């Protein structure tokens, strides 16, 4: 039974890592499941505190990942037109044009939103760049969390 749980946990870690890039897969939550599966083996017993801290990290990173493109837009001079454009661009990109729509959606949404709000092309591009940088920050954070979970998983088995 332990081998089955370890194999399933390893698959969850791999899928979680892929989910850092592919937006339709929630990477860190799937990687978190790997640690839960490992806990039910005879190899390691994690504490309740560890599970709660890891869960809080997963929730925070997932929230940051959804909101950081909007914050990036705002930080680089975007108005509420750009912020709303980023929000709708992310949503529409995810629904209709995944996986590339999630990368380009925030950028294009912020850019188009700023243009509709009366900004010049250069200013609109700057807001779009903020959305893209925000997306990249969220992706890096997800990789860090999944990388940490992989480290904990492998360390527990060694």
Helices 2-19 and 27-39: crossing angle in degrees, nearest 10, is 170
- Give mean pLDDT, residues 7-32: 91
- The domain total for the chain is 1
Question: How many whole angstroms separate alpha carbon 130 and alpha carbon 122?
Answer: 13
Query: Domain limits at 138?
Result: 2-157
**Which residue would you say has higher pLDDT here, 34 or 101?**
34
What does each C-alpha distance from 66 to 40, 41, 103, 125, 146 come to in angstroms?
31, 34, 12, 20, 17
> What local confidence, expressed as pLDDT, does residue 27 receive?
93
Contact between 74 and 131 (Cβ < 8 Å): no
Q: What is the pLDDT of residues 72-84, one digit of tens each?
A: 888 888 888 888 8
Would you place residue 107 in the very low, low, confident or very high pLDDT band (cuts 50, 70, 90)? confident
Q: Per-residue confidence at 88, pLDDT binned at 50, 70, 90?
A: confident
Sign (positive/negative) of CA torsion 134, 135, 140, 144?
Answer: positive
14 with 47: CB under 8 angstroms? Answer: no
């Amino acid at each position: 039974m332990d081998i089955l749980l370890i194999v399933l946990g390893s698959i969850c870690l791999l899928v979680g890592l892929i989910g850092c890039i592919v937006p339709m897969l929630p990477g860190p939550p799937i990687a978190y499941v790997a640690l839960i599966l490992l806990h039910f083996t005879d190899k390691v017993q994690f504490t309740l505190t560890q599970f709660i801290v890891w869960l809080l990290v997963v929730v925070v990173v997932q929230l940051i990942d959804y909101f950081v493109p909007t914050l990036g837009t705002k930080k680089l001079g975007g108005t509420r037109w750009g912020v709303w454009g980023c929000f709708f661009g992310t949503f529409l990109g995810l629904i209709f044009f995944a996986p590339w729509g999630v990368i380009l959606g925030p950028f294009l949404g912020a850019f188009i939103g700023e243009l509709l709000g009366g900004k010049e092309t250069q200013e609109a591009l700057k807001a779009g760049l903020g959305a893209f940088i925000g997306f990249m920050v969220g992706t890096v954070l997800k990789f860090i969390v999944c990388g940490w979970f992989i480290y904990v998983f492998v360390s527990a088995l060694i």
